[in-house]
Structures are given as structure tokens and as C-alpha cells.
């Protein structure tokens, strides 16, 4: 199961098959929706003194509770809990993995904080002095990873924030100043071309290549990059896609 964060307290629960938890008229949890909406949005209430103990409020306003070892329903009324193991509406959260990609930064921090964090990173992590050092060291090329949302900068789709295109423009200017070639690497494609955080996957799933739409959008991003930098003397190449996986595809031998 993966959590899709909406804000600090509300989430969608995505289960196997790409479907989302909801609640039926009998208070039973069901997973039939392929796109989450208000009926698939839950609130996580944490204990102040122990953040691993949580209660989960369903869209109906009632809390989830464990009826048996194999049954969870959304029919627990009342705000009071002593947070003990005897309360069937109290669950222990065990975080088994973290993702650290740009999607998680933007979605986790929100627009204002993510903009501050990422612009500080873009302004300080690599600067013109680094390009000067590269040239003085006898090297003549750099590879720069970008995400698909760069084609919509400065107003990319949520949760991403603007600024990455300006950072790439700066890199091209510095590269020209020191006769360094630039390989632009499309490192994150729409839907994520692999389940790793550097492809900006939302929850570790890979959806790139499952529809014609995200492939077409990938081509549009590549065309955007080529059009913007084709006449820039620093451009060496545009790498079409970093580390794509296609588990459902068969290729002729």
C-alpha cells in the first residue's frame, strides 16, 4: 500500500492494481476507484506524544477500526481514545521506505517552502565557479538531468514549482563561457519511467509507457528542449530518456 499525500493530514491510500480505498454504504473498505476523489480521501490523526500511533478518519467522518485480524471497517464513532492497544481504531505506522525525489520535496513541503528549498539548491549547489573548475581540470562536457515539467516552467503542474528552466539556462550560459559541452538528460518522464525517486515517481510505481498520452508528452518535452537549445553552441546532445523500464513490453529478438 502507498500513501498519496494531499497535505499534512489528508491522504489517499493506493493498493495493488492501482486502485484506491473508499468506503461503501455498509462502512466496508473497498478499492474500486482508479482515480481518487473526496470519497477516497482519509485523514490521519496522530498522537502528539507518539507519532507512530494514528487513527484514520474515513470520508464519512467515522474512524477505521480492526474488527478481526483480517477485517477493517470504517464505522468507529467518537473522538475520544486513550491510544492504547485495546482501542481497535488505533494503528501503528511502520515506515518501510522513503522516496527523496523532487516530487516528494514539492508535495511534502508545499509550494512556498518547496520553492524556497529548491531555488536555494539551484543557486548554490552548482555555480559558475564549478564550470570554471571543470574547464581548468581539462574536462569538456557535463550531463544535466531535468524533469518533464521543465517544459511548463515557470508554471509547472502541481506539485512541482518553477525555477528549473532558469537554472538550466544559467548552466548553458556558463558552459559557453568555458567551452564546455552540455548533454541534457531527460531524467524524469511523465508517469515515471522507472520506480525510483529520481524519476519523480509519486509512490514507487511506474506508469510511463502504459498510455499513448504520456509517451506523446515525453516527445513534446524532448522537442521543447531541442527547440530551446538547438542553436546554442554548448549543446552536445539531448538524452531521450534515462533508465527506462518497460516490464510489459516484449521486443523481437
pTM value surpassing 0.75: yes
Q: How far apart are CA 168 and CA 207, in angstroms?
A: 26
Q: CATH 2.80.10.50 region(s) of the chain?
A: 2-92
Q: What is the pLDDT of residues 138-179, one digit of tens each?
A: 999 999 999 999 999 999 999 999 999 999 999 999 999 999
Please, are residues 226 and 182 in contact by the beta-carbon 8 Å criterion?
A: no
Residue 149: which of 138, 137, 164 has the closest Cα? 164
pLDDT tens digits for range 33-73: 999 999 999 999 999 999 999 999 999 999 999 988 888 99
Residue 66 is placed in which grid cell?
480492526
The domain 2-92 is placed in CATH, from the list 3.40.50.410, 3.40.50.720, 2.40.30.60, 2.80.10.50, at 2.80.10.50
- Sequence ranges of the chain with CATH classification 3.20.20.80: 102-239
CB atoms within 10 A of CB 24: 11
Q: What is the per-residue pLDDT for 8? A: 82
For residue 252, pLDDT beyond 80: no
Task: Place domain 102-239 in its CATH homologous superfamily.
Answer: Glycosidases (3.20.20.80)
Q: What is the pLDDT of residue 16?
A: 79
- Looking at the chain, the whole-number percentage of residues with pLDDT higher than 70 is 96
Amino acid at each position: 500500500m502507498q500513501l498519496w499525500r494531499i497535505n499534512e493530514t489528508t491522504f489517499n491510500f493506493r493498493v495493488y492494481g492501482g486502485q484506491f480505498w473508499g468506503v461503501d454504504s455498509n462502512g466496508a473498505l473497498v478499492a474500486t476507484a482508479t482515480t481518487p476523489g473526496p470519497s477516497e480521501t482519509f485523514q490521519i490523526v496522530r498522537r502528539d506524544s507518539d507519532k507512530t500511533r494514528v487513527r484514520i478518519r474515513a470520508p464519512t467522518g467515522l474512524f477505521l477500526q480492526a474488527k478481526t485480524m483480517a477485517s477493517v471497517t470504517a464505522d468507529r464513532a467518537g473522538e475520544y481514545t486513550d491510544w492504547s492497544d485495546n482501542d481497535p481504531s488505533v494503528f501503528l505506522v511502520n515506515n518501510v521506505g522513503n522516496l527523496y525525489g523532487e516530487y516528494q520535496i514539492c508535495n511534502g513541503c508545499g509550494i512556498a517552502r518547496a520553492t524556497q528549498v529548491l531555488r536555494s539548491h539551484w543557486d548554490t549547489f552548482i555555480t559558475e565557479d564549478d564550470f570554471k573548475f571543470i574547464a581548468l581540470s581539462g574536462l569538456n562536457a557535463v550531463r544535466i538531468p531535468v524533469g518533464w515539467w521543465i517544459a511548463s516552467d515557470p508554471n509547472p503542474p502541481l506539485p512541482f514549482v518553477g525555477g528549473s528552466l532558469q537554472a538550466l539556462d544559467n548552466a548553458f550560459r556558463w558552459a559557453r563561457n568555458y567551452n564546455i559541452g552540455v548533454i541534457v538528460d531527460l531524467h524524469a518522464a511523465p508517469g515515471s519511467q522507472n520506480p525510483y525517486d529520481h524519476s519523480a515517481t509519486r509512490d514507487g510505481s511506474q506508469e510511463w509507457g502504459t498510455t499513448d498520452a504520456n509517451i506523446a508528452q515525453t516527445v513534446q518535452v524532448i522537442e521543447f528542449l531541442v527547440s530551446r537549445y538547438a542553436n546554442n553552441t554548448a549543446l552536445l546532445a539531448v538524452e531521450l530518456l534515462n533508465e527506462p523500464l518497460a516490464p510489459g513490453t516484449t521486443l523481437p529478438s
